[in-house]
Amino acid sequence: MLRIASLTLFVAIWWLASLFTGPQLLPGPEKVLGAIIAQARTGDLFVQLGVTLARVFAAFAISMIGGTVIGLLMGRSKIADRLGDPWLIVLLNLPALVIIVLAFIWGGLTEIAAVLAVAINKLPNTVVTVREGARALDPGLDEMARVFGLPRPKYLWHIVVPQLGPYLAAAGRSGLSLVWKIVLIVELLGRPNGIGFQIGVAFQLFDVTLILAYALAFVVVILVIETALVQPIERRASRWRIRST
Amino acid sequence: MRPAGEFDRLEVRIAHKAFTAASGDRFDVLRDICFKLGRSEVAALVGPSGCGKTTILRIIAGLDMDFEGAVARPSAGTLGMVFQEPRLLPWRTVEDNVSLVAPSTAAEALTSLFKILDLEAHRSHYPGELSLGLARRVALARALAVNPDLLLLDEPLVSLDEALAERLRAQLAALIESRPITTLLVTHDLEEAIRLADRIFLLSPRPAQIVAEIPLTTPRSARSEREVAALGAEIASRINGHAESPVPRANSLTKHDATDF
């Protein structure tokens, strides 16, 4: 209920603001909605959304899997931590734009270069978060697993993964939003399709309605993913916690 | 070839064990702890808190390799252990916690174990929903579910209220009585040791040494309240020379002290 009220308030403010600034700078909600419907009719919207989503998921998967493995290693082994730390600091502080431009120069204006550039941007955040989680693993449960001779796959799945759960969730949450923002930049700079490319075109035509239409459509998609996929997984993973209400 | 009996024995010989404190100082924890346990023998290590009892168990369990000496475990080697804290996986149900470590144990065997320990009603609960007493029983069920050849119990009844500890002690006595498990129990509670063990090793304060070995000849089930209390008083008086001696529930003992000794 509160969420709907808050959303309604947002739309109302938007509508009022569009009245003051005029439709050139800020088209009203009804105009943007009209543009979304028009783009959807031609089918263009879904193609661009699909292309961008595919890049988002590919980059997200690479950065999460790679980041989790590296983070676990660095959290559990002092040597790996010492070796990896300088690299991590460099990657963390390298601006996204530098990584993207270099990826395109070295890898050409290709799909692989684009996805890798995004994944490398996200990777160090995942590593840092998962490393923190790996450092916080309960040594008591490790000892229990050793005493009872738990095989390695079982140990990872039943003891390590559940403890890393909150850290993976945090990395995933912030990751998804970061990845899709960077994917748009990559598309703007070096891809012939996707939401980012379309927004670039709209920018050159000064078509604010189209910019907002694409941005809004993608936000809706992300919201759907969040409520239909991320939240149910989280609920299932934390069903053992005692509910405080 | 060595006689078969040798393989069934637990042999512990810890010449020396030291810890390095955070400050960098090294201090001795254990010195010359040597004992042997035969098959299905139940022994108790009794000593003041902080004397290094848990360290002995950790060395036997193979969790601490940094010591001088050697430990020979029974050859078949399945180990069951109850830690001082239950150490259950909070994200797995009671049943999953137990079956995780004992995947080859038959469902009926688990069910009968849950029945004996009064856990039937809690099989689908998560550890966070259990009281400490229940969680300890789950930890005990887990240790027994693997059909261990060697069972290590680290203060399994500590910080439970007396009535509950009494009940769990009786369940524990019945369980180790019914199975051929070599059991080593660590406790600071002399009376608990007298009720459960075939042999008691008394430990000195740190660095711990075995100061006395007391065999208990009466069968577990035949030990009366009076006998337990009397024996407790006798042992307590024997170790009175040591500071912080492990006096069990002093009030009940002093009463008997006046009449029996």
What does A196-215 look like in DSSP terms, one character per residue? Answer: HHHHHHHHHTT-HHHHHHHH
Cβ pair B142:A148 closer than 8 A: yes
Q: Is B12 helix (H, G, I), strand (E, B) or coil?
A: strand
Q: Predicted confidence band at B259 (pLDDT cuts at 50, 70, 90)?
A: very low
Cβ pair A144:B79 closer than 8 A: no
**How many angstroms separate the CA atoms of B90 and B195, rounded?**
32
Q: Is the pLDDT of residue B97 over 70?
A: yes
Q: Is the pLDDT of residue B256 over 70?
A: no
> Is the CB of residue B87 less than 8 Å away from at least one CB of chain A?
yes
Cβ pair A140:B85 closer than 8 A: yes
Q: Is the pLDDT of residue B175 over 80?
A: yes
Cβ pair B61:A147 closer than 8 A: yes
**How many angstroms separate the CA atoms of A39 and A200, rounded?**
16
**How many angstroms separate the CA atoms of A81 and A70, rounded?**
9
Instruction: Give the model's pLDDT for residue B203.
Output: 87
Instruction: Give the model's pLDDT for residue B243.
Output: 43
Q: What is the ipTM of this complex?
A: 0.80
Query: Which of the pair, B43 or B165, is modelled with greater confidence?
Result: B43
Strand B199-203 with B26-37, pairing: unpaired
Cβ pair A150:B101 closer than 8 A: yes
- Work out the minimum CA distance from B61 to partner chain A, whole angstroms: 6
pLDDT of B52-62, one tens digit each?
888 899 998 88
Q: Is the pLDDT of residue B261 over 80?
A: no
Q: Predicted confidence band at B76 (pLDDT cuts at 50, 70, 90)?
A: low
Nearest CA among A85, A61, A234, A76 for reference residue A160: A76
Q: For residue B127, what are the contacts with CB-CB under 8 A and spacing of at least 6?
A: A240, B86, B88, B89, B90, B92, B94, B97, B135, B138
**By the 8 A CB rule, do B202 and B72 touch?**
no
- Work out the minimum CA distance from B168 to partner chain A, whole angstroms: 22
Collect all residues of chain B within an 8 Å Cβ-Cβ radius of residue A162: 89, 91
> Is the CB of residue B126 less than 8 Å away from at least one CB of chain A?
yes
- Work out the minimum CA distance from B125 to partner chain A, whole angstroms: 9
- Work out the minimum CA distance from A226 to partner chain B, whole angstroms: 23
The rounded average pLDDT for each run of 10 residues, N- to C-terminus, in chain A (245 residues) is 87 90 86 90 90 94 94 92 93 92 93 94 94 93 92 92 89 87 92 91 91 89 84 80 59
**How many angstroms separate the CA atoms of B182 and B152, rounded?**
9
Instruction: Give the model's pLDDT for residue B240.
Output: 63
**How many angstroms separate the CA atoms of A149 and B150, rounded?**
14
Highest mean pLDDT among A152-161, B158-167, B235-244: A152-161
Tell me which amino acid residue A137 is.
L
Instruction: Give the model's pLDDT for residue B178.
Output: 83
Residues in chain B: 261
**By the 8 A CB rule, do A117 and A57 touch?**
no
Residue B21, Cβ density class (10 Å: 0-12 exposed, 13-18 middle, ≥19 buried): exposed
Tell me which amino acid residue A33 is.
L
Q: Is A235 helix (H, G, I), strand (E, B) or coil?
A: helix
Q: Name the residue in chain B with its Cα closest to that of A164.
A: B91
- Give the global pTM: 0.75
Strand B10-20 with B68-72, pairing: antiparallel
> Is the CB of residue A139 less than 8 Å away from at least one CB of chain B?
no
**By the 8 A CB rule, do A62 and A116 touch?**
yes
Collect all residues of chain A within an 8 Å Cβ-Cβ radius of residue B59: none
Cβ pair B87:A158 closer than 8 A: no
Cβ pair A150:B100 closer than 8 A: yes
pLDDT of A158-192, one tens digit each?
999 999 988 998 898 888 888 989 999 999 998 89
Whether a cis peptide bond, with omega within 30° of 0, leads into B74 is no
Instruction: Give the model's pLDDT for residue B228.
Output: 79
Nearest CA among B188, B187, B197, B189 for reference residue B220: B197
Q: Name the residue in chain B with its Cα closest to that of A162.
A: B91
Q: Is the pLDDT of residue B100 over 50?
A: yes
Residue A75, Cβ density class (10 Å: 0-12 exposed, 13-18 middle, ≥19 buried): buried
Residue A230, Cβ density class (10 Å: 0-12 exposed, 13-18 middle, ≥19 buried): middle
Q: Is A133 helix (H, G, I), strand (E, B) or coil?
A: helix
Rounded mean pLDDT, B29-58: 86
> Is the CB of residue A173 less than 8 Å away from at least one CB of chain B?
no
**How many angstroms separate the CA atoms of A74 and A124, rounded?**
12
Cβ pair B62:A148 closer than 8 A: no
**How many angstroms separate the CA atoms of A162 and A145, rounded?**
14
Q: Angle B71-B77-B78 (CA atoms, 0-180°, nearest 5)?
A: 125
Q: Rounded to an integer, what is the distance from CA A195 to the centroid of its chain?
A: 15
Q: Name the residue in chain B with its Cα closest to that of A165.
A: B91
Question: A66: how many CB neighbours lie within 10 A of its CB?
Answer: 16
Residue A193, Cβ density class (10 Å: 0-12 exposed, 13-18 middle, ≥19 buried): middle
- Work out the minimum CA distance from A149 to partner chain B, whole angstroms: 8
Rounded mean pLDDT, B16-45: 86
Q: Show which of residues 186-245 on chain A sit within 8 Å of chain B, judged by CB atoms.
A: 237, 240-242
